[in-house]
Chain A
Amino acid sequence: MAPTTTQTSPIDFERIFHPKRIAIVGVSQEGLGFGAGIFVSLRLIGFEGEIFLVNPKGGELNGEPIHRSVEEIPRAIDFAIIAVAARAVPEVLEACRLKGAAGAEIFSSGFKELGTAEGIALEQEIVRVAARGIRVIGPNCFGIYCPRSGLTVLPGPDLSRETGPVAFSSQSGGMAVDFANAGKSVGLKFSKVVSFGNGCDLRETELLDYYREDPETGLVAMYIEGIRDGDAFFESLRRTTARKPVIVNKGGLSAAGRRAVQSHTASMGGSREIWQSILRQANAVQVGDMGEMVQTCLAFSLLPPQTFHNITVLGGGGALGVAAADLAENFGLQIPAFEPDLAGRIDELLPKPGSSPGNPVDVANPFVPPKTLKAIMRLAAGDPRIDLQIFTSLLHHYKNMAMLTGRPIKAVTPYLELADDIREVAAETGKPIVVILSNPKSGPDHLDVVDMFVDARRAFIERGIPVFAELRDALRAIGHLNAYYERKS
């Protein structure tokens, strides 16, 4: 059994997430391997603190001297990054502890995950060292990404330095890197990302406890395979969701082991059913995969903390309206028809023929000027039932206009004007507007369209407007938001 961990004081977490001096133990002069990789990544992302490199062979890397041992480092350190062979890890960890490190992340693998007696024994050795006064992230992980301090996970030299509300912890290193990257590309901003691998010391529950109190963290996302202590996790989860949203992606649900059971109750209690129920009981938001997790975090970070039940859908194409109505129902959202008077006033603004002023509003063609759309959204927000508006853009059609006029697509697409107008209407009406940027023109012939979309998305996000690639993604994320805030009391 793992020993019970002691509560780490906030000041220790401060030194772990924002270290002034770190050691990277296990760098090779050849510049290959995890140690050198993380050194380069830290330099590229712009970590401002001091970095001490360690390798018994000495030498230098990119002009930085390599110390022969942790003991040789001339100063005390706050944090250590360990990437040496598994057998050497406990001794190195102890040396880092003696150097004053509050914590260490251990990239090395070759521990419990192997299932061998030696691996298990080595991991127990790490736990014993940790108990003497150094907190351990890992082993078998990619470590911490903290934009404020410039700590980054292993292949993460190009992650954002912008800090934001999303904290993430993950058993999987790959998931941590992918989530940080996917998040960056849709405009998520992170407070902390922790990949904790085998989680022999710090893991989901203690990190959750920390995120709950962390003023920089507004919402928490987690990727979980297994947990160490169900009761402690549940309690921590419940206390956290009372203050902040927690979004959970539980992996490995299909691999529920079969047990010898005699009752219906037990035979029905597979891991999927229990996890689903427990997460609901604790008012955590359960998502099925990383994409859904990104979209849900986006909705939680950019929309105000409340429920949205009645929405408008505004955009081009009658079929889109039908699809929206069908989809909305699945996620418990209503698209109430406008009163005749309001529909009439909207109708006056719409191009003829082919448009439809009810709700959903079909604007009939993709080239309706932003100021007309703005006027429609302003009117629609006047319906007192409406909580939120969704605008489905057809920006990809501007490719045709670009070809007709011989100008680049970025020059003919009014996305900046649209973004300004949407921000203005949302601010003035107090009703958020969510934008859908679907792009059917994403093939190799349309890289100009792809490029325009990247700019358009950035323009919207910079104005605090949430952007989703598909209507379904947006509605599902809003459904999650509703479920959380409805149950939070």
Chain B
Amino acid sequence: MNKDQALQLIETARKEGRKTLSEYEAKQVLTAWDIPVTREILVGDRAALAGALNAIGFPLVMKGCAAEIAHKTEKNLVRVDVRGEAEAVAAFDGIMAGLDGKGGVLVQEMIGGRRELVMGLTRDPQFGACVMFGLGGIFTEILKDISFRKAPLEHHDAMEMMGDIKGHKILEAVRGMPAADTGALADMLIRIGQIGVEIEAVAEIDLNPVILDGARPVAVDALIVVK
């Protein structure tokens, strides 16, 4: 997807009166700004499932995907570590039932890695588009170990944000895990800021978690709120 198509996608969502993009749509937008996301295929019916399983490969993650679903885990719409076709078909049926026919199932590569980060964008009433970086997953809310910068970001702003958080050592080489590719992380933060600057209609972006697959960061879940 290129930037024009991404803009079109956002416009369509707004015309439909939606406040959020689906995870699949959000990741397409992110891709247009070269932000690394999981490889994934949106599957609408059982017939298309086999092709997706082949393309992504096991183990994989399956998630319910519809525009207005913000908390997939709480609604039991996520299956991780799906290892075979039978398991995948059962997961597909279960998720589709939970969706009541809206949307489809996202078949997604499973990213291995224990370090979870969060990145995002908010619009501050005084300073406008601000990019956020912090510890991801459940630690986002518990530790609130986060840092912001006003967009647009320069490279040194992004590097500094990573140093700002108390848990910055998580980005270093620890316990057999390689040091994070901070250059790639900085690019992601800069590009999130660009989206905020370039598209006024984007109100919030939330990439949580961004998992470090070895050194390489990948956005595993994504939410884009439009206005």
Which residues does A use to contact B, with CB under 8 Å? 226-227, 230-231, 234, 261-266, 268-269, 271, 273-274, 276-278, 280-281
Contacts and interface: CB of A to CB of B under 8 A. Distances in A.
Nearest to B136: A264
Contacts of A230: 124, 126-128, 150
B132 interface: yes
B146 A268 contact: yes
A280 B150 CA distance: 10
A265 B204 contact: yes
Q: Which label, helix, strand, loop or mixed, suits the secondary structure of the A interface?
A: helix
A269 B164 CA distance: 15
Interface stretch (B30-38, B83-91, B106-114, B115-123): B115-123
18 contacts: A226-B126, A227-B126, A262-B20, A262-B204, A263-B204, A263-B223, A264-B208, A265-B206, A266-B120, A268-B140, A268-B144, A271-B124, A271-B126, A273-B146, A277-B130, A277-B148, A280-B164, A281-B160
B197 to A, nearest CB: 11
B52 interface: no
A398 B226 CA distance: 70
Nearest to B144: A268
Nearest to B157: A281
Given A264-B141, A268-B146, A274-B127, 6 more contacts: A263-B120, A263-B223, A265-B132, A266-B123, A269-B124, A277-B148
Interface string B10-29: 00000000011000000000
A274 B205 contact: no
Nearest to B149: A281
Contacts of B121: 265
A109 B150 CA distance: 35
A278 B141 CA distance: 21
Contacts of A271: 124, 126
Most buried by B among A226, A227, A264: A264
Question: Of A227, A273, A277, A278, which is in contact with the most chain B CB atoms at under 10 Å from its CB?
Answer: A277
* 4 closest residue pairs by CB, A with B: A265-B120, A263-B206, A277-B148, A230-B126
A359 B150 CA distance: 42
Contact of A269 (B70, B122, B223, B225): B122
B68 to A, nearest CB: 10
A102 B175 CA distance: 67
B148 A278 contact: yes
Nearest to B123: A266
A284 to B, nearest CB: 13
Given A263-B206, A269-B148, A274 B140 contact: no
A226 B124 CA distance: 13
Contact of B206 (A231, A264, A276, A277): A264
B149 A263 contact: no
A231 B205 CA distance: 21
A274 B124 CA distance: 8
Nearest to A282: B150
B127 A265 contact: no
A266 B204 contact: yes
B111 to A, nearest CB: 19
Given A262-B204, A263-B205, A278-B150, A268 B134 contact: yes
Q: Which of B123, B127, B130 has the most CB of A within 10 A?
A: B127
A217 B119 CA distance: 40
Contacts of A281: 149-150, 157, 160
A234 B205 CA distance: 23
